[in-house]
Chains A and B, each alone.
Chain A
Amino acid sequence: MKKPEGKHALIVGRIREGTVIDHITAGEALNVLKILGITGTTDECLSIATNVSSGKVGKKDIVKVEGRELRKEEVDRIALIAPRATINIIRDYEVVEKKGVEIPRSLVGVVRCPNPGCISNTSEPIESRFEVVERGLHCLYCDWLITKDITGHII
């Protein structure tokens, strides 16, 4: 499984333990972090490279999260904005697990419903719930359909 990181290493350094998210749609790295709930106030050590040349997809973004192995249900959410992303779990500088992302069938507590009249936008003890449909995200409370700017609705 050992695979040198090659030219990526020139841009962002190798990490010892953690997760490398590769082949992110160019320009979406920061949104990927937002979806993963990683912000400036959390204490992960991050390396971010944007608009890296890549033979496979033209340009891409890469994110490395040191010291944290992301779970499948966490990373699947990023499939909404970066469907070609690959997830590499790193232990002792080696890739021990490599996987793609799959668009999840439902999203709980990830996206805020844009409908101001929706019960999920009140103080009720519930989380927003959307099912992922062909044309976007469908609110399971009020039937609203989000078809564009999904990242803009992420909580």
Chain B
Amino acid sequence: MQHIISIRDFTRQDLDSFLDRAELVERGGFDPRMLEGKILALLFFEPSTRTRMSFASAMARLGGTSISVDSVEASSIAKGETLADTIRVVSGYADAIVLRHPKEGAARLASEFATVPVINAGDGAGQHPSQTILDLYTIRRSMPLDGLEIGLLGDLRYGRTAHSLAHALSLYDVTLHTIAPPGLDLPLSVVHELRRHGMEVVKHGDVGKVIRDLDVLYVTRIQRERFPDSASYYDVASSYRITPDLLEGAREHLIVLHPLPRVDEIDPAVDRTPFARYFEQSRNGIPVRMALLQEVMG
């Protein structure tokens, strides 16, 4: 039985074969009745409408059915019950479980108690492997993953999306440029680990200074609650905002990605430039999640 828990469990070979499979799916190379009769349980202990809908859509396209509880219902299920018990019970209702939970390591725990495969759809500040795979997929659709200069911008200290993606990219020949406001830098322990994998990691303070050298710019949210007051938040957020002016002189093939939802990080005027690929990125969640569902239930 295969679980999808952490991007750390994947080798480069595993990732490549997922990306190949997602590509095949996107070209129509799948059986729309492959998962007919199968049931996917969407167990979301905190809200994430997009991720939930994306898994439900992927399941439906493969002929399967989803059952789901929303975060409010889930928290009432959980009242007085351990996650371990919930997972044991839901294992009897479905052929696979997609779990989103506020505690880090929840998906690992679930995989120890489940009798069906578990897919981690985000556990606290921890892992969210399907997001990372779709990020890689989006990059690879535009250019080969090896030899790239990739910029990660935003809250790199707490942002799990950034950590997971950086880890996955360290399996490829990629130079990572980190661009974060003071205090929100990539943690040193993460940087050390990336360097141990042979990755070159370069730190920048100013996005304007590095934008022309990048093949990919991955933007993540800078959360308001990390700042003492809204004035200092707006100050920082505006100096890291991506605008058409900033992108002036960027490499022609540069792609700008964002896991969405965005708030102010990217000026909507950027949407009309050829650099904007974040909506495509979000659509890529479907073939990637179809590939994951095929892998665990097919």
Give the docked Cα–Cα distance between A147 and B125 (Å): 20
Q: Known interface pairs A125-B82, A126-B112, A143-B6. Does A120 touch B189 (Cβ–Cβ under 8 Å)?
A: no
Contact partner, A119, options B8, B106, B189, Cβ 8 Å = B106
Using A126-B112, A143-B6, A143-B8 as known contacts, say yes or no to A120 and B82 having CB atoms under 8 A apart. no
Docked Cα-Cα span, A140 to B82, in Å, equals: 19
B262 close to chain A: CB less than 8 A: no
Tell me if B108 counts as interface (CB < 8 A to partner A): yes
- Interface size classification for chain A: 10 to 19
A110 contacts chain B at the CB level, 8 A cutoff = no
26 A-B contacts (beta carbon < 8 Å): A115-B104, A117-B102, A117-B103, A118-B104, A119-B101, A119-B103, A119-B105, A119-B109, A120-B105, A122-B82, A122-B103, A124-B83, A125-B82, A125-B84, A126-B109, A126-B112, A140-B105, A140-B108, A141-B105, A141-B109, A142-B105, A142-B124, A143-B6, A143-B104, A143-B126, A143-B127
Number of B interface residues at 8 Å Cβ cutoff, please give it. 20
Q: B189 contacts A118, CB within 8 Å?
A: no
A120 contact set on B, CB distance < 8 A: 105
0/1 interface trace, chain B 179-195, chain A, CB 8 Å (1 if under)? 00000000001000000
Secondary structure class of chain B's binding surface, majority of residues: mixed
Interfacial residues of chain B within 112-143, with CB under 8 A of chain A in the complex: 112, 123-127
With contacts A119-B108, A122-B103, A143-B8 known, what are 17 further pairs, Cβ within 8 A?
A115-B104, A117-B103, A117-B104, A117-B124, A117-B125, A118-B105, A119-B123, A122-B82, A123-B82, A126-B109, A141-B104, A141-B108, A141-B109, A143-B6, A143-B104, A145-B189, A147-B189
A81 shortest CB reach to chain B, Å? 22
Q: Are A124 and B84 in contact, CB atoms less than 8 angstroms apart?
A: yes
**Contact flag A124-B104 (CB < 8 Å), given A142-B126, A143-B8, A145-B189:** no
Q: Which residues of B contact A119 (CB under 8 A)?
A: 83, 101, 103-106, 108-109, 123
Instruction: Please classify the interface of chain A as helix (H, G, I), strand (E, B), loop, or mixed, using the class held by over half of its residues.
Output: loop
Chain B stretch 69-94: residues in CB contact (< 8 A) with chain A:
82-84
Please report the C-alpha to C-alpha distance between residue A28 and residue B230 in the assembled complex, in whole angstroms: 49
Q: Mark A127-142, 1 if CB is under 8 A from B, else 0.
A: 0000000000001111
A82 to B251, CA, bound (A): 56
Closest to A144 in B: B104
A117 to B84, CA, bound (A): 17
Q: Which of B82, B124, B127 contacts A124 (CB 8 A)?
A: B82
Shortest distance from the beta carbon of B142 to any chain A beta carbon, whole Å: 30
Task: Give the complex CA separation of A140 and B84 in angstroms.
Answer: 17
Question: Whose C-beta in chain A lies nearest to the C-beta of B189?
Answer: A145
Contact flag A139-B105 (CB < 8 Å), given A117-B124, A117-B125, A145-B189: yes
Report Cα–Cα, A139/B127, bound state, in Å. 14
Write out the residue numbers on chain A whose beta carbons fall within 8 Å of the beta carbon of B109: 119, 124, 126, 141
- The minimal Cβ–Cβ distance linking B282 to chain A, given in whole angstroms, is 26
Q: What's the least CB distance linking A20 to chain B, in Å? A: 39
Closest Cβ of chain A: how far from B7's Cβ, in Å?
Answer: 11
For residue B108, which residue of chain A has the nearest CB?
A141
Chain A residues closer than 8 Å to B104, beta-carbon distance: 115, 117-119, 141-143
A142 to chain B, nearest CB (A): 4
Q: Which residues does chain A contribute within 8 Å of B127, judged by CB atoms? A: 143
B residues in contact with A125, CB < 8 Å: 82, 84
Q: Which residue of A lies closest to B80 (CB)?
A: A123
Contacts of B148-192 to chain A: CB distance below 8 A:
189
- Most chain A CB within 10 A, of B103, B105, B109, is at B105
